[in-house]
């Protein structure tokens, strides 16, 4: 795993060891999920779904993540690749390595982002752009 990412994970896992820093439904795998979201947003993939380009970190996590957030954000933003495909491969590797650390019952959020990232990878492989999402109720269309 990348050294910058290892440091980020180490900082937040240490921070969240203290139960006083945990929020109501905290799971240790939340940390990897939120780092995945930060990477996803940082890389700003052109083939991302419009609705996914702004994956927001949850208020609970941001409220509890500690004073190290700015350092972590800076570390994430320092990760650069020449192509989106290289960025995508980095993110996929990170998610895979993260998923390997947890039991199936702890993977809900990581599985969720994995699904979206793999669907985006499929769009890169097939050379297609994301189709805009229409959130209109089809029964109300005329």
Name the CA dihedral angle for 111, 117, 121, 126, rounded to a multiple of 10 degrees.
90
Tokens for 29? 């795998």
Domain boundaries, the chain: 3-125
pLDDT the model gives residue 98:
96
What is the chain's pLDDT, residue by residue, as a tens digit (142 residues)?
Answer: 789 999 999 999 999 999 999 988 889 999 999 999 999 988 988 888 776 666 666 778 888 888 889 999 999 999 999 999 999 999 999 999 999 999 999 999 999 999 999 999 999 999 988 877 766 766 776 6
Asked whether 10 and 75 are in contact (CB, 8 A), the reply is no
pLDDT the model gives residue 62:
85
Q: In this structure, what are the phi and psi dihedrals at residue 51, rounded to the nearest 5 degrees?
A: -70, -15
pTM value is 0.84
């Amino acid at each position: 795993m990348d050294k910058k990412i290892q440091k980020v994970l180490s900082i937040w896992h240490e921070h969240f060891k203290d139960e006083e820093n945990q929020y109501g439904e905290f799971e240790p795998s939340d940390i990897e999920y939120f780092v995945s979201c930060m990477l996803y947003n940082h890389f700003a993939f052109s083939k991302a779904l419009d609705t996914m380009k702004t994956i927001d970190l949850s208020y609970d996590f941001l409220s509890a993540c500690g004073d190290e957030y700015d350092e972590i954000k800076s570390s994430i933003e320092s990760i650069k690749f020449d192509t989106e495909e290289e960025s995508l491969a980095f993110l996929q590797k990170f998610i895979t390595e993260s998923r390997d650390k947890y039991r199936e019952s702890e993977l809900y959020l990581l599985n969720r982002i994995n699904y979206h990232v793999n669907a985006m990878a499929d769009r890169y492989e097939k050379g297609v752009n994301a189709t805009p999402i229409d959130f209109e109720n089809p029964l109300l269309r005329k």
